[in-house]
Amino acid sequence: MLADDHTVVRAGIRQILETAADIKVIAEAEDGEQAIEVIRASTPDVAVLDVRMPKASGIDVTRWIRENAPSTAVLVLSAYDDDPYVLAVLQAGANGYVLKNADAEDIVRAVRAVHAGKSAVDPEIARKVLGRVSRAETAAQPEELTAREREVLALVAKGHTNKAIGSALRISARTVQGHLAKIFDKLQAESRTEAVMRAVSLGWLPSTLGREADT
């Protein structure tokens, strides 16, 4: 489903996506509240959201999806590459962040990636996040992650939700959230993507996992 408060933009995105034989747009929304209602009613595989929308932002909708519709992947398609928007959306649980000026093929590829459980981050956005990681590395060496925290982060890197991670490790989603809070604190990270990138740079996760977080 598509959510954007500009009709022309939605029409353009729809045209791009429906050129792909394996993608079908089943619903549209013109504001955040309508997006939540549409997702609740139709449970789409992927929600493509704008960041700035009336009534509820893409960040608010992403948080709602993570709590209430975890099977729906979230791809944010935005004109904004400002750090506050990027980090807030990734921290809220979005699976990808792509700029609206991206090539049509890149947008289609991003939708497929998040549907497959991977992350899809615009190269420019990835550079911003990596820049934050590099700056963090100049600080003191972070506290080591526990074995359980590494297990949780490895599953995060593979695109799993908190519920899926809990099921795999036989712990509750609330316990997973607790582990993530400690991981974020130790790695001085503000999002799942940033935490994975930092762990990879420190050699705490295989680089093959990290590629899913910034492709």
Residue 86 falls inside a structural domain: yes
Q: How far apart are CA 13 and CA 122, in angstroms?
A: 16
Residue 63 three-state SS:
helix
| Model pLDDT, residue 132 | 60
Which residue's structure tokens are 């795999």? 168
| Model pLDDT, residue 139 | 53
Helices (H), the chain: 7-17, 32-42, 58-68, 83-92, 104-115, 123-137, 147-157, 162-169, 173-187, 192-201, 207-214
> Does the pTM of the predicted model rise above 0.85?
no
| Model pLDDT, residue 89 | 80
User: Do 150 and 96 belong to one domain?
Assistant: no
User: Do 148 and 174 belong to one domain?
Assistant: yes
User: Do 8 and 35 belong to one domain?
Assistant: yes
CATH of the domain at 66: 3.40.50.2300
| Model pLDDT, residue 215 | 34
Specify the number of domains making up the chain.
Answer: 2
| End-of-domain residue from the set 95, 120, 145 | 120
User: Do 14 and 94 belong to one domain?
Assistant: yes
User: Do 137 and 66 belong to one domain?
Assistant: no
| Model pLDDT, residue 83 | 62
User: Do 18 and 89 belong to one domain?
Assistant: yes
Q: How far apart are CA 40 and CA 27, in angstroms?
A: 12
| Model pLDDT, residue 55 | 93
Binned average pLDDT, 10 residues per bin, the chain of 215 residues? 95 94 96 96 96 90 92 90 72 87 92 89 70 56 88 88 92 93 88 80 62 38
User: Do 179 and 90 belong to one domain?
Assistant: no
Of the candidates 46, 41, 68, 62, which has an alpha carbon nearest to the alpha carbon of residue 2? 46
| Model pLDDT, residue 212 | 41
Q: Which domain holds residue 65?
A: 2-120
